[in-house]
Amino acid sequence: MLEIERKFLVKSGAFKTEAFSLSEIKQGYLNSNPERAVRIRIKKNTGYLTIKGKSDESGTTRFEWEKEIEKEEAEALLKLCEPGVISKIRYEVKAGEHVYEVDEFFDENDGLVLAEIELNTSDEKFIRPNWLGEEVTGDVRYYNSQLSKNPFTLWKEN
């Protein structure tokens, strides 16, 4: 139940032509505390309840538990979520033996595009496509739970 992933900014839209799948995602947080975030997500016609634990020092590894739930249940639970529901399109892009999940955000996080890659070990080698930008693994500002509270469009650096 451990998730090992690295996260990157995306510097161009070239990934879209390489994507083999895309899906709209709507998600909110019943609890956005970094110690134990509880997320509700609707992806396509399926709901998900996910619990994520605190990341290790590098930001690459943390506990993750996910359960599929009915879409209607997820819709009801989204109404109970903290303010700041996230809307995004997820593109899946194969690169060597791995798949990048590239999220293009909308609404209050419009303009942000992030890529994540799940690994088997924290030091596993992987291909870095030319559209991949700066690594932001471990930068809590880019956690979806934090983007729901402090949206990208409100950042002073933006």
For residue 65, give both structure tokens: 């538990």
Catalytically annotated residue among 29, 91, 142, 143: 29
Residues in Cβ contact with 125 at an 8 Å cutoff, skipping those fewer than 6 apart:
none
Strand partners for 90: 23, 103
* Cα distance between residue 69 and residue 78, in whole Å: 12
143 is catalytic: no
For residue 33, give both structure tokens: 């505390």
Other beta carbons within 10 angstroms of residue 59's beta carbon come to: 18
Sign of CA dihedral 131, 134, 135, 138: negative
Q: Which residue numbers are catalytic? A: 29
